[in-house]
Amino acid sequence: VTTAFEDTYPGKNATLYTMLVAGTEGEKDELYFDSASIGSDIGKSAQGKYFDLYSGSVSSENSESILLFERGEEGYIHPCIAVLVSESEANSEFFKLHEQKTGKKANIPLPVIIICLLACIAIALKFRRR
């Protein structure tokens, strides 16, 4: 899965935050920022079963930075959120929102769909019993 961050400030220090669902420890995956590897096996269920948060310092090389989640040996991995926080050139602070660009093959793996459906059923049953 690839996403682009437009209008970034080249050479500025920045922090990248990502959230992944459905990663497995020991199954090697890679995270790239502007073609440089910044993480290996980031989908290792460190924050709970099948859930990962990652943050790291990055430096953009041009005004559009590319983030690439490479599945590698992972059976499946589902990046949910990617946020790039960088220094502003101006004294004023503002937020600029960009839609995530998806790859050509944006199929959701069947196990992720099944887990989401089971969670919805469990929630519905819990509220139905009340």
* Full residue range of the structural domain in which residue 13 is found: 2-128
What is the reported pLDDT for 121? 92
- Check: CB of residue 23 under 8 Å from CB of residue 72: no
pLDDT (mean) for 34-51: 75
Percent of the chain with pLDDT over 70: 76
Residues contacting 34, CB < 8 A, separation 6+: 58, 60, 61, 62, 65, 66
Confidence band of 118 (pLDDT split at 50, 70, 90): very high
54 close to 18: Cβ distance less than 8 angstroms: yes
pLDDT of residue 32: 87
Could you say which DSSP state residue 26 is in? Answer: T
CATH number of the domain within which 117 lies: 2.60.120
* Counted domains in the chain: 1
Q: Over 60: is that where the pLDDT of 86 sits?
A: yes
Q: End-to-end CA distance of the chain, in Å?
A: 41
What does the pLDDT look like over 88-111, one tens digit per residue?
A: 665 555 666 666 666 566 677 788
Q: Which among 126, 119, 121 has a CA at the least distance from the CA of 49?
A: 119
